[in-house]
Amino acid sequence: MQAHAASERTRTPAARAVAWSDWVALTKPRITRMVVVTAGLGFLMATLAGATWTWAGLLGTLAGTAASCAAAGVWNQVIEREADARMSRTRSRPVAAGRVSPRDATGFAAVLAVLGQGLLCTFGTPLASALAAATIVLYVGPYTLLKPKTPASLWVGAVPGALPPVIGFAAASAGLAGTPWYGATSAAVWWVFGVMFFWQIPHFLAIAWKLRDDYAAGGLAMLPVVDPGGRRTGRQAVAGAALLLACVLTPAATGTLAVWAAVPCALAAAAYLGLAAAFAKGLDPVATRRLFLASLAVLPLMLALFAVGAL
């Protein structure tokens, strides 16, 4: 019995049956859920603009977006498995912990990627599929590969992070008569892209500041790691929040966003900017936590208002 137990402990990941929970964990469910919600808001924006839609189209779009997002997350964990194994926050991830082999995870990601593109082409549009493919490439390629090298990876990674609403809009807007490029020229959806892009900067800098020692252990060149004093970290958090505010005020001024939606959006963005400034000034745990928690409240509020208030 002891010999059998010892052999069980020493079997390689490829020789063990992978638990269902590990396959699920590989997909980064929390991130995938947020991506699905934002893609759904983009889909809603297109329908409110006059696009015809079906339940099959909506569900196919959401499933295809989820599969594409999950594929990017799995490949990211394969590439970063050594860094993940050195960080307390990520060392229990399936690939880093050795419960799933890199080969199996790579195959799983490929299946998810193909599934995602197939669903988006079938139930959405070719543009939606292309945008999802670009999201995977940008996340797995430039963003992941730059993380150990430069803090600029944050701004690079914000691009794929902001694309899901555009994917949802493009998937639904095949039903917009006379709309070129499946609605990709719609100003409203690109303002939502801007909101998501700039929202990410203070959000992730607050996380990175709190976890800077962990990121340093993983060898990742996050801004708080290379900026131990925090001055650049604080300035970039304020810059991101200020540009977010501009992404609210500009469409309101140009008539792309209804005033009744722009006012609460602007107030939320201004509050976010104030908390980013407080974070930059103190860089203390309380200010960091307040900025992080505010980011979780600000984004869904603003996206919902943009979805129903876009003109």
Return contacts of 3-11, CB within 8 angstroms, 24+ apart: none
Q: Report d(CA 269, CA 110) in Å as an integer.
A: 38
Structurally, the chain folds into a number of domains equal to 2
Pair (170, 53) in one structural domain: yes
Pair (200, 143) in one structural domain: no
Pair (156, 280) in one structural domain: no
Average pLDDT value for the chain: 91
Pair (111, 201) in one structural domain: no
Q: Report d(CA 143, CA 150) in Å as an integer.
A: 10
Pair (214, 311) in one structural domain: yes
Contact in structure between 256 and 186 (CB atoms under 8 Å): no
Pair (14, 151) in one structural domain: yes
Pair (132, 205) in one structural domain: no
Tracing tokens 């934002």 back to the chain, one arrives at: 38
Tracing tokens 């696009």 back to the chain, one arrives at: 51
Pair (134, 155) in one structural domain: yes
Enter the tokens of residue 118. Answer: 């197939």
Question: Is the pLDDT score of 11 beyond 70?
Answer: no
Q: Report d(CA 164, CA 202) in Å as an integer.
A: 19
166-181 confidence digits (pLDDT tens): 999 999 887 555 555 6
Of 145, 178, 211, the residue at which a domain comes to its end is 178
Enter the tokens of residue 2. Answer: 């002891």
β-pair partners for 257: 310
pTM (2 d.p.): 0.89
Pair (87, 66) in one structural domain: yes
Residue 235: pLDDT band (50, 70, 90) is very high
Domain housing 155 = 1-178
Pair (9, 110) in one structural domain: yes
Instruction: Give the CATH number of the domain where residue 245 resides.
Output: 1.20.120
Of 178, 201, 227, the residue at which a domain comes to its end is 178
Of 160, 178, 196, the residue at which a domain comes to its end is 178
Pair (15, 164) in one structural domain: yes
What confidence score (pLDDT) does residue 145 get?
A: 96
